[in-house]
């Protein structure tokens, strides 16, 4: 067995390796563009050496992960924050990082994290592609609204109705403003069918997963939120309680408390930004259509602020969906808020 600690960069990687049977160790830098890294690992495969690679979670490494999977090598992805906490020396450079990863592998102290499979990652690209196109469409629509408001018309959403579209096209504008209006409308017409097609694809994928269908029984949760939740969380067994999931999504406040003084800041935002956005949107939809959710949202908004209340309701929704998924139950009025979501009871300690 050969253990390899990899400090990965987009153009090269620095490795520190150790062969357990013979005690051989060494360090090396491998380039990616000229195929040096691929040749190194393929040579190990030809020599019949079992390899375990440890590296920090990073981006732009899909090809490297596919290469190791093709060769049948183990790949352990580590939590960067925990790896940083295990660094003893106050020195950080590529070779030292590779040595640290190798030491953690040898000591069986490597902070390995869950990694989604290839199909999961590909479906995430569908969600991200749709999300980015919707953001682009929103910017286009805001520009068209600005053109109308500069001419003294404040139609809000009516500007995108059939009648509003006709009125917008009839506005007398200067030559360059007229060209801008025409090209923005053309972009909008091209993007709408694409977004509708992607939305339909997400709905089809969501209806094929019983977990997503179960989560869609909750008020405010549609196919997009349910599918994204299932893909990004992966499996509910990764978390022991709902509080851990709130931390994973990044919807808990930062805290710097000391000497019996509690100091809370903004939310950490350490999780997936797409899932966090969808949870807040779904929580607002639930507050609009469900009396209990609306009451709780208004209560929080009066105590704090609307923006804080929206995020708090999004975190509550994340916890509730977690317990629905973990317990295998659909939405019902008997579900409670808090850490015991999904467990039946009167709320006063009685069964």
The Cα 234–Cα 237 span in angstroms is: 9
Two tokens, residue 351 = 């069964």
- Predicted pLDDT at 344: 45
- Beta strands 12-19 and 25-31, pairing class: antiparallel
Q: Per-residue pLDDT tens for 237-285?
A: 999 988 899 899 999 888 888 888 888 888 888 889 999 999 999 999 9
DSSP of 158-224: GGGSHHHHHHHHHS---HHHHHHHHHHHHHHHHHHHHHHHHHHHHHHHHHT-HHHHHHTTSTT--HH
Partners of 264 in the β-ladder:
255
pTM for the complete prediction?
A: 0.85
With b for 16 or more beta-carbon neighbours within 10 A and e for fewer, the 57-86 pattern comes to eeeebeebbebbeeeebebbbbeeeebeee
Q: Packing angle between helix 118-150 and helix 273-289, nearest 10 degrees?
A: 60
Tell me if residue 104 falls in helix, strand or coil. Answer: helix
Tell me if residue 337 falls in helix, strand or coil. Answer: coil
User: Has residue 334 got a pLDDT over 80?
Assistant: no
Two tokens, residue 88 = 């003893």
Task: Residue 230: count other Cβ atoms within 10 Å of its Cβ.
Answer: 24
Q: Per-residue pLDDT tens for 67-107?
A: 999 999 999 999 998 999 998 888 889 999 999 999 999 99
Tell me if residue 292 falls in helix, strand or coil. Answer: helix
For all residues of the chain together, what is the average pLDDT? Answer: 90
Lowest mean pLDDT among 101-105, 147-151, 334-338: 334-338
Residue 333's pLDDT band (boundaries 50, 70, 90)?
A: low
């Amino acid at each position: 067995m050969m253990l390899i600690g990899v400090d990965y960069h987009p153009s090269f990687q620095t490795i520190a390796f150790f062969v357990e049977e013979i005690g051989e160790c060494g360090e090396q830098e491998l380039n990616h563009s000229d195929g040096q890294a691929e040749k190194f690992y393929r040579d190990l495969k030809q020599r019949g050496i079992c390899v375990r690679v440890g590296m920090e979670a990073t981006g732009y490494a899909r090809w490297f992960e596919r290469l190791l999977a093709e060769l049948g090598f183990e790949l352990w992805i580590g939590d960067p924050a925990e790896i940083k906490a295990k660094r003893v020396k106050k020195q950080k450079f590529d070779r030292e990082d590779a040595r640290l990863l190798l030491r953690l592998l040898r000591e069986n102290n490597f902070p390995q994290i869950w990694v989604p499979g290839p199909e999961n990652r590909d479906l995430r690209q569908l969600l991200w592609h749709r999300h980015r196109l919707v953001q682009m469409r929103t910017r286009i629509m805001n520009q068209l609204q600005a053109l109308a408001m500069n001419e003294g018309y404040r139609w809000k959403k009516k500007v995108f109705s059939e009648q509003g579209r006709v009125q917008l096209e009839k506005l007398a504008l200067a030559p360059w403003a007229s060209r801008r209006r025409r090209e923005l409308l053309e972009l909008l017409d091209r993007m709408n069918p694409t977004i509708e097609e992607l939305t339909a694809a997400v709905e089809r994928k969501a209806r094929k997963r019983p977990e997503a269908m179960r989560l869609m029984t909750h008020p405010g949760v549609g196919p997009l939120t349910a599918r994204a939740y299932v893909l990004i969380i992966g499996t509910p067994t990764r978390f022991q309680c709902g509080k851990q999931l709130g931390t994973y999504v990044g919807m808990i406040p930062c805290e710097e408390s000391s000497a019996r003084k509690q100091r809370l800041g903004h939310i950490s935002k350490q999780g997936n930004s797409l899932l966090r956005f969808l949870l807040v949107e779904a929580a607002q939809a639930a507050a609009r259509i469900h009396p209990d959710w609306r009451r709780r949202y208004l209560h929080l908004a009066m105590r704090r602020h609307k923006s804080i209340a929206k995020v708090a309701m999004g975190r509550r929704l994340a916890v509730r969906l977690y317990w629905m998924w973990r317990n295998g139950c659909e939405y019902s009025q008997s579900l409670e808020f808090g850490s015991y979501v999904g467990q039946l009871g009167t709320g006063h300690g009685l069964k």
